[in-house]
Amino acid sequence: MKFISWNIDSINAAVEHKSVRGEMTWSTLNEIATIRPDVFAIQETKLKSTGLTKKQATAIAELFPEYHLYVNSSTARSGYSGTMVLSKVEPTQVEYPTIGAPGSMDLEGRIITLEFPTFFLSTVYTPNSGSSLIRLPERGEWDDKYREYIKTLDATKPVIFSGDMNVAHQEIDLKNPKPNRHSAGFTDQEREKFSALLDAGFTDTFRSLNPDTPSVYTWWAQISKTSKINNSGWRIDYYLVSDRIAENVTESCVIDTGARQDHAPILLEINV
């Protein structure tokens, strides 16, 4: 099976594609549509609390005909965060879980989980620790709650889960590790929490297949005009799987988005 995951940074910007960046986002979305993944998971949809508008729903339906669509929008703050999943096959069950996260995190539409006969498929948009690490304590609580949630799924059947996890795990996972030791996404706490997630029985599929491959990133800061040109990026988007099905992974890679900065989609192929 083939899976794709992407932090799109606004469904509306893609559908409207009125700016240069919007055009690039729309182009990438069309490219993904031609790949026809079995499941396409999207983070940071930035939809209204009521979900897709008619125009947005029509555009998605035209690109992904006959897919089953599931949306989890933020009710804490409209137009913020949010996740969406498109699946060729209708799942046996869909969950929009709350995990006991602090503050408004459980109301921000951050997780969708689809259950299939032999596995769970879940996507997540992990909260950012924020400027000056103001949200780092709450982020740590989220990581603990999320890890426990994924473990409960894994206790029933294997899990394939993806998303913008807002952490570069190892120094190899970002261009400039030393000056970013105290930056959101590369603090000791966030990295340790990600290690704890892996130690709970899960495999980072890209790093498993490419243990020593440097300079492969999934996010380049928009604030820097040269971040993509210089490949000054971070690998903060992941496909993780239960350890017991990790040997079934045949591909885990990043989809090239050309000059577009911000997040790139990631692709997983696995026999399940």
Does the annotation place 30 within a ligand binding site?
Answer: no
pLDDT (0 to 100) of residue 66: 95
pLDDT in tens, 110-136: 999 999 999 999 999 999 999 899 999
Q: Taking all residues of the chain, what is their mean pLDDT, rounded to a whole number?
A: 98
Full residue range of the structural domain in which residue 133 is found? 2-270
Dihedral Cα 238, 197, 248, 251, nearest 10 deg: 20
263 in a labelled binding site: yes
Q: 5 near 126, Cβ under 8 Å? A: no
CA distance 149 to 32: 29
Q: What's residue 46's pLDDT?
A: 98
The 3-class SS string of 113-151 reads EEECCCCEEEEEECCCCCHHHCCHHHHHHHHHHHHHHHH
DSSP state of 245: G
CATH of the domain at 85: 3.60.10.10
Structure tokens at 170: 């190892």
Predicted local distance difference test score (pLDDT) of residue 23: 97
Q: Give the per-residue pLDDT at 196.
A: 98
Q: What is the pLDDT of residues 40-94, one digit of tens each?
A: 999 999 999 999 999 999 999 999 999 999 999 999 999 999 999 999 999 999 9
Q: How confident is the model at residue 151 (pLDDT cuts 50, 70, 90)?
A: very high
At residue 253, the pLDDT reads: 98
Amino acid sitting at position 146: Y
Is 62 labelled a binding residue? no
Domain count of the fold of the chain: 1
User: Is 166 marked as a binding-site residue?
Assistant: yes
pLDDT at 260: 96
pLDDT in tens, 204-249: 999 999 999 999 999 999 999 999 999 999 999 999 999 999 999 9
**Active site amino acids:** 125, 164, 263
